[in-house]
Structure 1
Amino acid sequence: MNNNPAGSTWKKWDLHVHTPSSLVHNYPGSNQEERWEAFLTDLEALPAEFKAIGINDYIFIDGYERAREAKFKHGRLKNIDLLLPVIELRLDKFAGVVKKEKDGTYSQSGWNRINLHVIFDAMDPAIIQQQFLNSLTPSYQLIPGSSSWQGKWKGVITPESLAELGRMIVESAPEDKKGDYAPHMREGFNNLCVSLDKVDEALDKPYFAGRFLIAVGKTEWANLKWDDQSIAEKRNIINRANLVFTAAANPAEYHAARKKLEASKVNATLLDCSDAHAPRASKDKDRVGNCFTWIKADATFDGLVQAIAEFEDRVFIGDTPPKRLLVEANRTKYVSKIRINRKAGSTLADTWFSVDMPLSHDLVAIIGNKGSGKSAMADIAALAGDTRNFRSFSFLKDTRFRNPRNKLAQHFVGALGWHDGSESERQLDQDPSQTSVERVKYLPQSYLETLCNELGDGGSATFDTELRKIIYTHVPDEERLGYASMDDLLGFRVAEIDSARERVVKEISKANAEILQTERRLTPEFKQSLQEQLDAKVAALNSLEASKPTPVEDPTTSDTAQEESKAAAETIQALEEELRKLRDEERSLRDKKAAEAKRQAVLSRIAQAIANHKKAHDQFVVELAPMLVEAGAYVNASEMVELRIDTSKIDALGRSAKESIAVIDATLSSQEPTGLVKRHEATEAAMAEIRGKLGEKQRLFIIFKDQVSKWERAKADLIGSKDKAQSIDWFKAEIESLAALPDKLTELRTRRVELAKIVHEQLGKTVEEYRRLYGPVQEFVKSAAQMDMHLPLDFDVRIEESDFQDQFFLRINRQSRGSFAGKDESNHLMRGLLKEADFGEVDSTLKFLDSIDDMLHFDRRESGGRETRIADQLRKGVEPQDILDYLYGMSYLEPRYSLTFNGQEIGQLSPGERGLLLLVFYLLVDKDDIPIIIDQPEENLDNQTIFKVLVKCIKAAKQRRQVIMVTHNPNLAVVCDAEQIIYATCDKTTNTFNYVSGGIESPLIRATVVEILEGTEPAFKNRKQKYGL
């Protein structure tokens, strides 16, 4: 198979299988034809994953020739894609003395020689015979124990000559030892050896250039001792080889052997082979099919060479490669093919697309020149996978294939064939629906550029969302508490912290109200207003003093008048005293009613507060109950948390106040003769009657006394007391109290600062909850060091402001006078303040609050800072308390996950560094396992960064998900060892996009890579050497 469109796939390779034509075998059959039929049938019955077989019949090629003829002339071995000829030789380097067993093998006590295997490309066996085996004939030597036969043996390698050598050796042995020897032909082979240099000479021919590999047998090589004489030769032999062969009983034995090679710091490209000498049904270890080697490559010699170059990634020894198991366990998450074609009934003349192509489940690289259709295939694959990033398509957009003028897109459909056999088909002129489930993650170049720009400008809501999602994927299942997203999990963990913070924010709002009231009272205008009102009251008092009633002679002072009016005067005096008492009694009752009414209002407020508290408690019990059930604590929440409320005393006081008010009201309004109303009316009537009977002088005097009484009451009302609002003494007390307000304001502001500290402390507690959840992803990033990758990526949680500037200025009238006057000026000022603030530190946060507060109170544009009123700087409808509550409530501060790279914030990185960080983020950190399509990941990256970081991330990503990348630089496909390369071209004359695919080992694909990459084969080889491929 010259080229597999699906690219490099996992297959089983067994490169050490002996046929019935081998010198040593245990295949059943009465004759050679039966043995060969059984052998071929055995190979045909191998599991489907066996695709490459190395035919190894020691120094003879006729077994390979017969197997090849069976396949290509007689149609046998259709399940086997590749047959490779393997020659097995014995080197002249001896690993110790071993004993020869009857079957011709060796154990301790005769000469143990190192086995050398030459694996040839699938070529004409005649070439191998003539150009290699025949040229080795003069170079063969006999082992030391048989050297005496060197001159007698003719030395031409044929089955007959080997049998003749074996016969001579056996016949020379003592009669009692002849039974220990193997059959003559096998014995003759066992006594041959050749030098490695002679093998190299025989292979140094144009026929074999680039068409052979050397392997050494691990077991025989290991028997060569590490001593001063042999250590250099031992290293030389294995390190000159391309491969090391072993025949392990199980994968564990293989891995133990490989670890020993690695510990010895020698070539450890170890392959497990069956070394089959017996049929599959045999219990022998060395039987057909008993091989654990999987190789991810085309079943070609070039595929084997590529696998050796990428040994760690392309060779697996065991039952099944982990990626195959992963794919089978997640069949709905791997795309097996892509189809793009015209819709049925389309009348479009141009072809544009006619694609039906298999896709690798590992790394697919789409290469080609500009305009060749690379991004077209990526967009269409993403569309068929219902990507959420369809707005960033570069091909399927209105200015290109979806141009409404030609409506090309409506003629085509794209489909992805999933590994479970299902297919998702989409019309190219329609975007995914909002309800569709994203099955493919697509990172178009424009999307990455947008994210980079947003991050460079200070933040990206899109990236924040992605970051939270990806951090959540690393949270262990047992710590997710059953929540389906990071937001839900965090909401649960910080719910009580948020509640506590809300309570403190309410306290801050109350403090702001008191502060604003106190500030208002401290203004000169307020004091001036009080003083002016006091002056008005004093002026009224002076005016009253000046208008004191003019004295009238008391007619009772003369003896005659005194005698005449004595009785009347006494009566009037008694009535006036009664009226005074009635007024005093009414005033006392009304004062008592006011006091009882105030007490009743306070008691009512207390009752409401208790009711609110009970309601909150009841709600708390309701919320607590399901949490207890979820925790497995089957406890009655209302019994666990009790609230004792006894309002009997409050209720009694309330009833008492109510009853007292009712009694007072009844007394004040009573129409009973003994009531205040009737008594007042009776007294007034009696006085009026008596006054009517008085003489003129007495009447005038009585009027005078009445006027004086009213004047005195007016004077008393004006002077008042400190408790009587709007009186002279009250205004004086108010003005006097202003002196204590600065201290009170200081206390209130101090209290507000303490409350702000508590809010910040609560934010800090929330941050700690966030940090607990990003721990696993940080540990994962640290583990990248195991990949020998320089990845200085750190996760953190920070308290950061969100949209403060915009929200603050929505409340400010920047056309009014103040620190924040002028749009450009205030924006510049605020950016500076925000840049200086470190909201993760409480002192820096408080400094920020104080700076904004200060600038609201003083115009800091002017030297000295002219005092300004907050209310004068606000937009219509905005109250001073609104802006202070926003400032000190700190709702604009929130914990946010962040990433740093080399200790720098994302916004401080160069565009290339930001792009690399995003790629690392999506490729390495993101645990999502749906296919990912990346457009031009190498953009803005230098070659060193590509090799040291990006390549390793891509290789790591393809181990756990399907990766498809579009690249202008095929070098990236090469160094990433893409399993499938799709070469895109566009025929402009017919408007047709063409795609050819295959593995990098395919000569066809390699030629396209060279053509795009460098243009010449030498330049390609130079590039290979540069990147260590």
Structure 2
Amino acid sequence: MISRGSEWHRWEPHIHAPGTVLNNQFGSANPWGEYLSSLEKLTPQIEAIAVTDYYVTDTYEEFLRHKAAGRLPGVKLIFPNIELRLDVAAKSGFVNIHLLVSPEDPEHLSEVKRLLKRLQFPAFNDNFDCTREELIKLGKRADQSIIDDEAALRHGATQFKVNFNLLRKVFHESEWAKKNILIAVAGGSGDGTSGLRQAADATVRQEIEKFAHIIFSSSLSQREFWLGLRPGMTAADLRSRYDGCKPCLHGSDSHNQQSVGQPVDNRFSWIKGGLEFDSLRQACIDPEGRAYVGEVPPRTAMPSQVISHVRIDDADWLTTPDIPLNPGLVAIIGARGSGKTALADIIAAGCEAISPFGWSADEAISPSFLARARQLLGDASTTLSWGGGAEITRSLDGRDANGHLSFPRARYLSQQFVEELCSAKGVSDGLVEEIERVIFDSHSPDDRDGAIDFAELRDQLTARFQQAREREAGALEDISSRIATELEKEGLVAALTTQVAQKKKLIADYNADLAKLVVKGTEAHVNRHTELSQVAQSLRSKIQSFGNQRRTYEALQDEVRSMRATRAPEMLRQARERHSNSGLSDQQWDDFLLVYKGDVDEGLASYIKWADGEVRKLNGIAPPLGDPNVPLIDGATDLSKLPLAPIAAEMTRLEALFSADKIVRDQYTTLAARIAQENTALQVLESRLADAVGAEARRKALQAERNDTYGRVFDAIINEQNALASLYEPLMARLAASSGTLKKLSFSVRRIADVESWGTIAEEELLDRRKAGPFYGRGSLIKAAIQELKAAWETGSAPEVQEAMTSFMEKYSKDLLTHAPYVQSQQTEFRAWSKQFAHWLFGTDHLTVRYEISYDGVDIRKLSPGTRGIVLLLLYLALDDADDRPLIIDQPEENLDPKSVFDELVSLFIAAKAKRQVIMVTHNANLVINTDADQIIVAASGPNVDGGLPPITYISGGLENEEIRQSVCEILEGGTTAFQERARRLRVRLDR
């Protein structure tokens, strides 16, 4: 037995035929010929017909005779629909109720007639049974003018009303009826339960609808109500009040030739299942999945993405080489070692869905059938036929797999693949990567900006902000270094002030000493020498300044050469790497090479030449020596106009006149030179002091700038966070609107502040915690940072972070300095420490933007392997909308308990099979029965064969097939006796 299992077929559950007891409008001239021809020509074709008549089965029996004569070749199932009128008044007439009788029992006609005979109608001081003979009697008693039996039958049918309580009693007392009859009731307002609108009728209506298995209605609102999809009436409510959900069906209710099989607005009835009465029973169990009213049945996967048939050639170990496949959910079951995984592997091989690693797996330990049987497969091959017409053949030993033009036409979740992705060893990188792939696929191609995978798209969205963060962080370090320098200068004001005062006193003392060396009569020479010395000092300072400028120009020349040769080309290369998607040509990129705006080479050369010229002018040329008593510079000459050389020569001449004593002259010369040196040193100190005095203002300005830069760092971090959030937005929005298991999955993007590592760096490397103070001891700084900064770092805006850091600094900066390992007098050490401290304090390396994937509030990295398996299936079954290829899964229930399978996976498989073909190997009853699998393939293997594979046999069908149900019960439940015994011991009622 090999079939595709449960497929959609058009059923006609309510149609009358020529000769129907009431309202027969089919005409008298060969009505059956025209009637049958109309049925045979219908599109879409009717394949199952419930022949309807009032109280009797005459037209059904006539229908069978025509079928036996060769009519209606497309109709595979015919069964009686016996329409009864209850003694319950509706809006117009009485409520109609229908007995749909299974034709599987060869004695079903005699049995249903025996059942109907137990229904009695009291009238004329007598009781009339619901049989043809009794209805004729009732008709004649009601109208004594009627002589013809057929006329009496029709009139009796109009009089006979079935008592609802009696009907219910008779039905429940008959084991045959409960096994072979389904009750349908009209749901409309005319002759249906909707016509019972009075408050007093509410209970009667509920009891009738509770008794019924099927509602005859084409109304969408009624269908939603009976499926528990309407507000105020859930499926649980229906179970409590009406014994469960119920399928809505609709027939043409034809009473004339024109309406045969033509319901209003093409509201056809579709039943999913084989063409057997049990399919109708299955529709009562799963009304949402197996019954539908509409012009066409519900669509499933696209035909081109459905494997319609599997054929295995050159495999003498396979006794059933041809297997058709259902487009919905296919469940492969069987005992261990029966060939379940073999079929999944074979299908995956034909789909090119086995990876190179899978083909090369160690046959001794691999769970793959094809890997373990590699040496025994020979030339076996598989041919897959696809719904779109394609046909592909592949060898089962993998010799022609994974060619350069091949691509997987299905996704195969083999046992090995699932184990790797859901392993408990370490972080599930593979699972995270699969989640990222689904996230990437959830974006339309237009939104991907040319990215080929998740990582590239993520980098495209965040690279700009990461680069901005790096730039601002670098600027932050530079500013912090400058602040440290300014703080150091501030600390030098007092020392420099003292040094300046000391230097001034020293110079004054030297001048006093110099005055004591002056010989009487040479005072004028000394005064002249002092005047010249002051001018010379000024000139030497200028010459020194020009020398410094010249050296700076030479350093700039070196920098220009370095920039052109290495730095600018490297910066261009880095820019091209950061913006590789710009599409700019090499020539266009050349425009971005950094060049100097002006002719800096000529400028720097001219600056050096100018500085040299200024030095030469300031130095001047020494005059020739003459009479020592004759001044080299006239007293009226403006000394500020003279260069250094003549002034120095005149000073030397004057020094020779100060004393006849050579020793005194030498002392004077030395002391004068010392005074000149000290004056130079004093100028340097005064310059440094002025710089130090201005450090406070500069430091405050830099601190304000650093605060702004710190805010810009967080602007970049927050922008990166928002960019990542936009990446997940399509799935996040979908999850927010979902329910059930899917709602347990969540994505979040947040900032993480590793305060512990940030504080530990300071405590271990920067602060001396041995010193008495607020941060004495381990963890005290970390605690303060958690209280003052963590919330702002992780959730605050840029201004809020700035404010938090400012507050932290105002509160703790002095305390932190008390734990400095050096005092400020240790200038070199303190300077290095203060820079390190500033870099640490305003650093952001401890801040990361991270996305988290959680299930039921737990990070995916911390889930058990079983729960990771649920997340994996959530991805493929519910979220991976971009992938409509067949999904092949080998034992999805691994590592899960039965309740988790029922609670978490069943609904996923039900939803998935409506969108794509799903083929699964399973040992779990919930995944077969409660998902209402569309096709069940039962695998069985024979005894082992020496040097070969054991014979493997497959049978298949739907749950509506008794043989398949029995196999499911035997394999998955241990058999009927085992199932009932477990229920008995667990005290579970099985009476429904």
Task: Give the TM-score, by structure 2 length.
Answer: 0.69
Give the partner amino acid of 2:613.
V
Equivalent of residue 933 in structure 1, options 885, 888, 891: 888
- Partner-residue secondary structure (3-state), 1:947: helix
Give the partner amino acid of 2:33.
E
Aligned residue pairs, count? 881
Give the partner amino acid of 1:963.
V
- C-alpha distance 971-848 of structure 1, shift in aligned 2 (>3 A): farther
1:944 aligns with 2:920: no
Equivalent of residue 234 in structure 1, options 169, 194, 205: 205
CA offset digits 1:591-635 (Å, max 9, x no partner): 35336547868999999999999x999x99xx99x99xxxxxxxx
The equivalences for 1:831-870 within 5 A come to 840=794
**In 2, are the aligned partners of 1:933 and 1:965 still within 8 Å (CA)?**
yes
Equivalent of residue 958 in structure 2, options 999, 1004, 1014: 999
Q: Cα offset for 1:85?
A: 2.4
Partner of 2:413: 443
**In 2, are the aligned partners of 1:553 and 1:701 still within 8 Å (CA)?**
no
Distance 1:234 1:22 in 2: 28
When the two chains are superposed, the root-mean-square deviation of aligned CA atoms in Å is: 6.6
Equivalent of residue 136 in structure 1, options 116, 120, 125: 116
- C-alpha distance 704-966 of structure 1, shift in aligned 2 (>3 A): farther
1:210 aligns with 2:190: no
Partner of 2:29: 30
**In 2, are the aligned partners of 1:276 and 1:288 still within 8 Å (CA)?**
no
- C-alpha distance 925-552 of structure 1, shift in aligned 2 (>3 A): closer
Partner of 1:369: 335
- C-alpha distance 609-332 of structure 1, shift in aligned 2 (>3 A): farther
Partner of 1:275: 253
CA offset digits 1:142-200 (Å, max 9, x no partner): 6xxxx44969x999625xx7567646655549xxxx9xx99554223222334453576
Q: Cα offset for 1:232?
A: 3.5
- C-alpha distance 699-378 of structure 1, shift in aligned 2 (>3 A): farther
Distance 1:81 1:392 in 2: 45
Distance 1:686 1:295 in 2: 125
Distance 1:398 1:882 in 2: 59
Give the partner amino acid of 2:182.
L
Partner of 2:79: 84
CA offset digits 1:102-150 (Å, max 9, x no partner): xxxxxx5xxx33333222222366x2332221553464436xxxx4496
**In 1, are the aligned partners of 2:891 and 2:921 still within 8 Å (CA)?**
yes
- Partner-residue secondary structure (3-state), 1:275: coil
1:115 aligns with 2:96: yes
Partner of 2:613: 663
CA offset digits 1:895-953 (Å, max 9, x no partner): 33323334333344444444334433443333334233333333333333333332122
**In 1, are the aligned partners of 2:84 and 2:98 still within 8 Å (CA)?**
yes
- Partner-residue secondary structure (3-state), 1:510: helix
Q: Cα offset for 1:504?
A: 0.6
- Partner-residue secondary structure (3-state), 1:129: helix
Equivalent of residue 8 in structure 1, options 6, 9, 18: 6
- Partner-residue secondary structure (3-state), 2:299: helix
- Partner-residue secondary structure (3-state), 1:503: helix
CA offset digits 1:68-115 (Å, max 9, x no partner): 3444x444433222222222233344447xxxxxxxxxxx5xxx3333
Partner of 1:1014: 973
The equivalences for 1:458-857 within 5 A come to 459-471=427-439, 494=462, 497-511=465-479, 587=540, 590-594=543-547, 596-597=549-550, 657=607, 660-661=610-611, 663-664=613-614, 667=617, 709=669, 713=673, 721=681, 755-756=709-710, 758-772=712-726, 774-785=728-739, 791-800=743-752, 840=794
Q: Cα offset for 1:1008?
A: 1.7
Q: Cα offset for 1:755?
A: 4.4
- C-alpha distance 367-754 of structure 1, shift in aligned 2 (>3 A): farther
Distance 2:337 2:842 in 1: 56
Partner of 1:61: 57
CA offset digits 1:220-252 (Å, max 9, x no partner): 232763557644333322211211224x5xx65
Give the partner amino acid of 2:963.
L
Distance 1:939 1:359 in 2: 24
Gaps of 5+ in 2: 583-594, 625-642, 770-777, 807-815, 824-832
Partner of 1:243: 214
CA offset digits 1:386-414 (Å, max 9, x no partner): 44877578988674466699645674444
Q: Cα offset for 1:748?
A: 8.1
Q: Cα offset for 1:274?
A: 1.5
Name the stretch that deviates more: 292-301 or 944-953. Answer: 944-953
Distance 1:680 1:234 in 2: 125
Distance 2:348 2:703 in 1: 58
**In 1, are the aligned partners of 2:118 and 2:129 still within 8 Å (CA)?**
no
**In 2, are the aligned partners of 1:384 and 1:426 still within 8 Å (CA)?**
yes
CA offset digits 1:623-661 (Å, max 9, x no partner): 99x99xxxxxxxxxxxxxxxxx99999999989956733
Distance 1:481 1:1028 in 2: 60
Q: Cα offset for 1:310?
A: 0.5
Distance 2:534 2:487 in 1: 45
**In 2, are the aligned partners of 1:392 and 1:444 still within 8 Å (CA)?**
no
**In 1, are the aligned partners of 2:533 and 2:651 still within 8 Å (CA)?**
no
Equivalent of residue 854 in structure 2, options 900, 906, 925: 900
- C-alpha distance 946-517 of structure 1, shift in aligned 2 (>3 A): same
**In 1, are the aligned partners of 2:116 and 2:131 still within 8 Å (CA)?**
no
Give the partner amino acid of 2:544.
D
Identity %: 26
**In 2, are the aligned partners of 1:474 and 1:927 still within 8 Å (CA)?**
yes
**In 2, are the aligned partners of 1:383 and 1:390 still within 8 Å (CA)?**
no
1:306 aligns with 2:282: yes
Q: Cα offset for 1:272?
A: 0.8
The equivalences for 1:405-420 within 5 A come to 407-408=375-376, 411-414=379-382, 416-420=384-388
Distance 1:338 1:355 in 2: 8
Equivalent of residue 50 in structure 1, options 35, 42, 46: 46
- C-alpha distance 190-795 of structure 1, shift in aligned 2 (>3 A): same
- C-alpha distance 515-333 of structure 1, shift in aligned 2 (>3 A): farther
**In 2, are the aligned partners of 1:797 and 1:896 still within 8 Å (CA)?**
yes
**In 2, are the aligned partners of 1:378 and 1:966 still within 8 Å (CA)?**
yes
Give the partner amino acid of 2:852.
S
- C-alpha distance 342-737 of structure 1, shift in aligned 2 (>3 A): farther
**In 2, are the aligned partners of 1:781 and 1:793 still within 8 Å (CA)?**
yes
Distance 2:537 2:172 in 1: 135
Distance 1:214 1:445 in 2: 45
1:191 aligns with 2:159: yes
Give the partner amino acid of 1:118.
L
Task: Give the TM-score, by structure 1 length.
Answer: 0.67
Distance 1:519 1:434 in 2: 66
Q: Cα offset for 1:517?
A: 7.8
Distance 1:79 1:671 in 2: 127
Equivalent of residue 307 in structure 2, options 335, 355, 359: 335
Distance 1:1020 1:587 in 2: 111
Q: Cα offset for 1:742?
A: 13
Distance 2:54 2:915 in 1: 41
**In 1, are the aligned partners of 2:385 and 2:392 still within 8 Å (CA)?**
yes
Distance 2:168 2:989 in 1: 30
Give the partner amino acid of 1:796.
S
Q: Cα offset for 1:500?
A: 3.4
Distance 2:795 2:229 in 1: 55
- C-alpha distance 51-980 of structure 1, shift in aligned 2 (>3 A): same
Distance 1:953 1:1028 in 2: 29
Distance 1:553 1:256 in 2: 123
Partner of 1:40: 36
Distance 1:808 1:185 in 2: 98
- Partner-residue secondary structure (3-state), 2:966: helix
